[in-house]
Amino acid sequence: MANNNIGPKRLVVGAHYGLRDWLAQRMTAVVMVLYTIILLIAFLSGKNFSYEGWAGLFAQQWFKIATFVAFLALFYHAWVGVRDILMDYCTKSVGLRLALQMATILWLVGCAGWAAQIIWRA
C-alpha cells in the first residue's frame, strides 16, 4: 500500500495551513501599514489639528473607504490569527472549539458593522 502523505499528492487536512493563510496575513498587514502611512501623512501635513480638521478629513469619501478597507483587513487578519490559535493551542474538544470560532466570527462581523456605522454616520 502506497503512502499518500508525502509528495505532491499528499492528503491535506486540518486548519488550511499553508501559503494561502500566510499570504492573507501578509497582505492584510500591508493594507494596515499603507493606511497607517496615509494617516501619518495626513497628520504631519495637516495644519488644522482640531476636531473640525479631523472631521473634514474623515468626511471625504475616499478616506472613509480607505478606513473601512483597513478595518476589514484588521478583522480578517485577526480571524486568521485567532483561528490558528484555537486550532493549535486550545481545547481538543471539537464542539467547544467550533463554539469559540463562531463567537469570534460573530464578534468580528459585529465589529465590522459597528465600524461601518461609525464611519458613515451623518
| Residue bearing cell 501599514 | 33
Residue-wise pLDDT tens for the chain (122 aa)?
555 556 666 555 555 567 888 899 999 999 999 999 999 998 888 787 788 888 888 899 999 999 999 999 999 999 999 998 888 888 778 889 999 999 999 999 999 999 999 999 85
pLDDT at 4: 55
d(CA 102, CA 107): 8
Q: How many CA atoms lie within 13 A of 111 on its CB side?
A: 15
Per DSSP, the three-state class of 91 is: coil
Predicted TM-score (pTM) of this structure: 0.79
Tell me the C-alpha distance between 68 and 26, whole Å.
18
Nearest-angstrom CA–CA distance, 39 and 61: 15
